Every structure is written in structure tokens, then in C-alpha cells.
Amino acid sequence: MGDELHFKSAGELSDLLSSGSVSSVEIVKAFINRVEAVDNSVKAFNSYDAEDALAQAKVSDERRVKGETLSELDGIPVGLKDNLAVKDQPLTCSSKILESFISPYDGTCIQKLKAKGAVLWGRLNMDEFAMGSSTENSGTHTTSNPWDLERIPGGSSGGSAAAVAACEAPVALGSDTGGSIRQPASHCGVVGLKPTYGRVSRFGLAAFASSLDQIGPIARNIDDAALLLNAISGYDSHDSTSIDIAVPDFRKAAADVSDRKWTIGLPKEYFEESSDPEAIMPVLDAIEFYKSQGFEFKNISLPRTEYAVASYYIIATAEASSNLARYDGIRYTSRAEDFDGKDSIDVYRQSRALGFGEEVKRRVILGTYVLSSGYYDAYYLKAQKCRTLIRSDFENAFESVDAIMTPTSPTPATLKGAHAEDPLAMYLSDIYTISANLAGIPGLSLPCGYVDGLPVGLQILGKPFKEEEIFRVGRIFEKAHAFKDEYPEL
């Protein structure tokens, strides 16, 4: 099984291309065949253009023949979450209101991938406008978890995680607002990284909550995640929140095997009795492994963790209310076909009522409420103050530890529909990931075991702009375990 091209990692495919053993066209054909074979079950893709992907691959092969290879990613397919702008490709955010929209430009991440010669591969399903934790809130269809097709893949980057887990793409880009890369990575048994806020340009990412959103890689192993992060990182003048800071070679840093004394923090708030004891066992086993490797562990406290979910859903919905105001049925979005409104307000009302799903409507209404006169100070301002306190908790913790380890998710992947009547339960599924977005720090999820055949993720949180350190910590575990080489049966 592992000899087939679609089972190879991006790094392995890059080596095969360099040796002349295969061509990019052959690699892309292998992934097209894989999608045609399994995506009717997984449903990771919203769309893909096989002809365009093969054309990109052909150009890559021609460069290679001339000795003009652009990078280690040249000729490698990269899957794309459907909220990233690619010129002349659909940009739907899995929403009916954007179902016919074609992007007129490339976002910065896409420009960087093109400059590296990567093959842009398909549009991957997501919770509508990235609002959800299961990919059940997509306006098109529900993606399945490749490990159990009756279960969710997580969200909102569920299509990206499912595509990588099902070997429909070697790597993919997702976006993480409150755990939307790490949580589906945990549920699907792959590696997912939320970079430090400002490390990767958001220009060309359809905004959900601008102060929280961050684009990041989803991959089968840490080496591939580092390779993709190398390609997309860097300062961008088009993004006012982009930070002008040196970008290390993450792939080289992750492979560093030099001895170092690591001190890891274990926050008591993430290991309390409310956690599912069975679901947390693989995480505890991983911690025992690190202890056997000489890692020192320190019990720490992040006391404002209890306010993270409430603060997040006030701030995120407030920003969503503002960002989604542009989807009004007037400019570039779908309009109600049987429009009978009398004025522009009726255009907005009817178009948004038909174009937005229930979860998007719920969050826009909540966000508008907390920003309204009389409630701004009581809710939004207070949430922002809590956010500052949460960030200060991490700053204090990192004075005495190099990284922090926690579970990624409180449970393995749940059955589809399990939270259909209880949105709050869905919101709480991000309880371990949200704080990193509020604090702006990097977070990595890597597979650490299984519960009833379902993957479980270990989360490693790091200091701002120290992604290379959490890659290095994660790779020590990955090298000693076979999870990166295990695939679901489809």
C-alpha cells in the first residue's frame, strides 16, 4: 500500500522528483485517481480542476528538465481550504451566498506557493465562513472522518484534515480562528499547526474574526508541516497585522537532534476531572514518553482559562458581525431569485436569509448584540480585558517553561449530528485550543494514540514566533512512534 504515490509524504515525493524517479504529472494523476476513488465517501472537496492541476504539473516538469526547479515544493500538490483566494478559482467559503463567486486575485499565501512551484490542488470543504467545529455547518455538504465515515472530521478545516488523512492531498492549508486547524488534525490523525498571529499573511483569507484568524499547514508529519510553513511565512505589507520578523528554516530546525534540556508546563486547568478520562489517556502516555527522554515537567496554572470560551465567542462573533456585513446581495454575492423587496434593506434581508446558514446567522446576531449600544462595555470590552489577562497567563508561564503540553480536544471525533441541537456543546469542543488564538501564540497538534480506533491529538503550545521549537519537541515523539505512517482503511 505504502508504495503507491498518494501514500507518500510531501518530503518523499520531493525526493522522488529530485531523483527523476517520477514526474509531477504522475504524482498529480495519482492524487486525481485517489480523489475519484474515495471522495464520494469522504467528501473532503468542494471542487477541483484536474485539467488545471495537470497543466501546473506539466510546467513544473518542464522547469525541472531545464534545471530551474523553484523549491522542494515544486510539483507537489497542495490542497486549499475554500476560504483562500486563488485567481480565477471558486472562493465559496462553503456558503450559498458565495456559490458562484470566482476570486479575481491571488492571496499572499497563494502567491508564495506559486513562486515555490507548488501545484494548487482543489477547494476543500469547511464550516461555512469557518464558523463551526465539525464541518457539518457547510452550506454544501458534510465531510466525513476517514477513520469512521459516520463521524465528523472536526472543523472548520475539516475538509483539509480529511483530505490529508485520506491521502487525497499530501499537504493542505487551513485557517485557525479558535482551533480550526488543530482540532480537525486531532480528529483525523494528522499534524496541524496554528502559527503565531502575524507570522503568515492573512491577505486573501476570507475574514471570520480578523484578530484571531491565522493560516497554517495540515500535513501527515512534522517535516511536511515545516516544509509548507517555510513556503507561506514572511512579512507582507498588504496585511497590517503581519509582523516583520526573521523566518527560520523550520524544516531544518525540526530535524535538529542536538541535546537540550526541555522544561514543559502542564496546566492543571487542561487536565481537570471534567476531561474524558479515556480520551486523555494517549496524551498522558505521550507525557510519560517525554519523561523517559529526559524532559522535565512542571505543573503550572493558567488561571483565566475558564473565561476563554466566553471571551472568544464574544470577540469572534463581534468581528464576524462586522466582517460579514459586506455579504449583502448587492455587490458580488448571490441575491434572492424571487426578490420582491421595496428597498435596499429588503435586499439585504432576503439575500442573507437565503444565503447564510443557521450557524452563521446565530453568530452574526450574537456579534451584533454584543456591539450594540448599552452592551458594548458589558460584554465586548470586558471580553477584550479577559483576553489580555489570558495572554498574560501564558507570558508568565513561559518565564519558567519552554513549551506547554495539553490535549488538543476533550474527546475523539463524535458521531455526526451529536451536537446538532446543542450549539454550546459544539463550542466547548474547542476548549483546549481557543486560548492560543486569544493569546496569539503558536500551537501544534500531532497524533499520539487512539481511543476505540479513533485518533487523539497531543497539543504543544509555544512561545510567540518559536514554531521551530514546538516542531522540534513534536518530532522527538513522532520519530519514536508510527502514527505518521498509519492510514485509515477506505
Q: Give the chain's end-to-end CA distance (angstroms, integer).
A: 12
Low-confidence ranges of the chain (pLDDT < 50): 1-2
Do the Cβ atoms of 177 and 220 come closer than 8 Å?
A: no
Q: What is the pLDDT of residues 310-350, one digit of tens each?
A: 999 999 999 999 999 999 888 777 776 655 666 778 888 88
Beta strands in 327-451 (DSSP E): 403-407, 443-451
* Strand-pair partners of 455: 450
Fill in the DSSP letter of residue 29.
Answer: H
Domain CATH code at residue 76: 3.90.1300.10
Spatial distance between the Cα atoms of 335 and 48, rounded to a whole number of angstroms: 25
**Residue 47, pLDDT score:** 98
Q: What is the pLDDT of residues 159-168, one digit of tens each?
A: 999 999 999 9
**Residue 113, pLDDT score:** 98
Write out the residue range of the structural domain in which residue 438 sits. 1-490
Phi, psi (rounded to 5 degrees) for 464: -55, 135
- State the total domains in the chain: 1
**Residue 214, pLDDT score:** 98
**Residue 1, pLDDT score:** 40
**Residue 341, pLDDT score:** 61
Q: Read out DSSP for 30-55?
A: HHHHHHHHHHHHH--EEE--HHHHHH
**Residue 2, pLDDT score:** 47
Count the helix, strand and coil residues of the chain and give each as a percent rounded to the nearest 5: 45, 15, 40
Global pTM reads: 0.96
**Residue 463, pLDDT score:** 98
**Residue 337, pLDDT score:** 62
Instruction: Collapse the DSSP code of 204 into the 3-class scheme (helix H, G, I; strand E, B; otherwise coil) and give the result.
Output: coil
Catalytic residues: 81, 156, 180
Q: What is the pLDDT of residues 445-465, one digit of tens each?
A: 999 999 999 999 999 999 999
Long-range Cβ contact pairs of 66-70 (< 8 A, separation 24 or more): 69/18, 69/117, 70/115, 70/116, 70/117
* Strand-pair partners of 415: 151
